């Protein structure tokens, strides 16, 4: 059975946990992933780090597909858009506690449904003495 990614759920929980402990939540983003919209001039070695503390960023939303917010860089408001699969880590600035996420494999399209369910082999039971 195919399940949805647990990353957005863990990301939201860790974000709340970091804030509840009066710490500063940072995320690390793979800026080379498809559909990532971040300030190119702040990318280092293919990654960018954001402070996502309320008040530092505006209109933060973390849903099951994307995290987006507005932030100021050199006084200029920028719109940040990051697909969840591009999030590499979330941690507290003060102590480094948080989580590094494993890269999830790209899943191919599921095979088309057939009209007949697949045939199952008959159970083969054996009496054990």
- Where does residue 74 rank: exposed (0-12), middle (13-18), buried (19+ CB within 10 A)? exposed
Helix (H) or strand (E) holding 15: helix 7-20
**Where in the chain are the domains?**
7-95
| pLDDT tens per residue, range 89-99 | 999 999 999 99
- Inter-CA distances, 78 with 4, 26, 38, 72, 97, Å: 30, 17, 8, 6, 28
**Class of 7-95 in CATH:** mainly beta
| pLDDT tens per residue, range 71-107 | 999 899 999 999 999 999 999 999 999 999 987 665 5
Residue carrying structure tokens 């987006």: 68
- Output the pTM of the full model: 0.78
């Amino acid at each position: 059975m195919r399940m949805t990614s647990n990353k957005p759920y863990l990301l939201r929980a860790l974000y709340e946990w970091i804030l509840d402990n009066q710490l500063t939540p940072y995320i690390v983003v793979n800026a080379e992933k498809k559909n990532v919209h971040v300030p190119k001039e702040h990318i280092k070695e293919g990654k960018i780090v954001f402070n996502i503390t309320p008040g530092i960023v505006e209109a933060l939303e973390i849903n099951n597909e994307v995290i987006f917010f507005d932030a100021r860089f050199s006084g200029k408001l920028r719109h940040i858009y990051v697909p969840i699969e591009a999030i590499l880590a979330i941690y507290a600035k003060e102590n480094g506690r948080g989580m590094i996420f494993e890269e999830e494999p790209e899943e191919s399209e599921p095979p088309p449904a057939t009209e007949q369910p697949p045939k199952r082999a008959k159970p083969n039971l054996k009496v054990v003495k």
